[in-house]
Homo-oligomer: A and B are copies of this chain.
Amino acid sequence: MFFEGSEKKVEVLVHNEKFSLLTDISDEFWAELVHRCHAKILSSISNKQCKAFLLSESSLFVWDNYFLILTCGETNLVNSVEYFIEQLGVEKIKHLTYQRKNEYFAHAQPSCFGDDVKRLTQYLPGKAMRFGAMDSHHNFVFHQDNDFKASIDDKTYEIFAYQISEEASNHLTRQGLEANDIREFLRLEQLIPNFQIDDFVFKPYGYSVNAIFGKKYLTIHITPQADSSYVSFESNINLIELLPIILVVLQPSSFDLLSYNETEFKTLTDKNVPQSYVSQSLVQQKLSNGFLVNFANYILPTQQFTQATEFDVAGENHEL
């Protein structure tokens, strides 16, 4: 069974002079916003500065002046943006960024990035860039083109890990696996001590976790099935520094890093990416909204021949 783990992501910053997303917006609003893209809220946690919703397809985080939603599978995230604009008015939006990863099973998606951009620009003029080669892992980033300038302190980090080791995949697809087992396997206590945690184990496979501490957040989503395994991390804590632990746990054949406003990207990757990996793509771009975006794709070279992978000819789930 295949599942499209690759995410679409929207970050919306609002004018919050007389308005707070945390206190002026009801949970029902967020439930409907999530529903519009064909996902649903499973649970939530919160502190004074942040509310984190765990979704059937990824996560939604809400702070006082911005929210961040990531959705995977066959969701249509632009629907949620449209709902926000319909309900609150486009003038509430101070800045919007939309990001979309290349998919494993693009044929099964309800839209492509070009379609998404066409819809978004009906409301918000913007620019778009691609990070990474068309024939390899890449991310598209669309951002509203207005006078907004990001603060250099607004740093976020993403890791996308592909084809995790057989050992990791076997562990994460074990029957009867509980959230606690996975937390331990991922070494969450070491990665994010003191964070408040909300997680969910999907049937038959899959795991999502939201973690918050003050304004800090981390979310991890695991599609563990051998052959199309994918694990994504997104956080405003420095994930490049945590990479050595993450790579020991997952041992992926390939992974990507993406960061916003990490000016020390090269120094950090030189220090934290093991030499066994080689870089296929390295992209650095300053966007006109002030964000410095870095993207890198690493692969583990192989010398060993493996067997081909059987394709289930009679299968029902052929979204290739």
| Chain A residues with a Cβ under 8 A of chain B | 103-109, 111-115, 117-118, 121, 126-131, 133-137, 140-142, 162-163, 227-228, 230, 253-254, 266, 278-285, 293-295, 299, 301-311, 313-315, 317-320
A interface: dominant SS:
mixed
Q: Which of B103, B141, B282, B308 touches A302 (beta carbons < 8 Å)?
A: B282
Q: Name the residue on B nearest A141 (C-beta).
A: B308
- Subset of 14 A-B contacts with CB under 8 Å: A104-B135, A113-B318, A114-B317, A114-B319, A117-B313, A118-B318, A131-B308, A134-B163, A135-B163, A266-B305, A279-B301, A280-B302, A282-B302, A283-B307
A142: chain B residues within 8 A (beta carbon)? 311, 313
Q: Does A320 lie within 8 Å of B140, measured CB to CB?
A: yes
Q: Which of B253, B285, B304 touches A307 (beta carbons < 8 Å)?
A: B285
User: Bound complex: CA of A266 vs CA of B303, how far in Å?
Assistant: 10
Q: Does B308 lie within 8 Å of A281, measured CB to CB?
A: no
Q: Does A302 lie within 8 Å of B318, measured CB to CB?
A: no
Q: Does B311 lie within 8 Å of A112, measured CB to CB?
A: no
User: Bound complex: CA of A109 vs CA of B320, how far in Å?
Assistant: 10
Q: Name the residue on B nearest A110 (C-beta).
A: B107
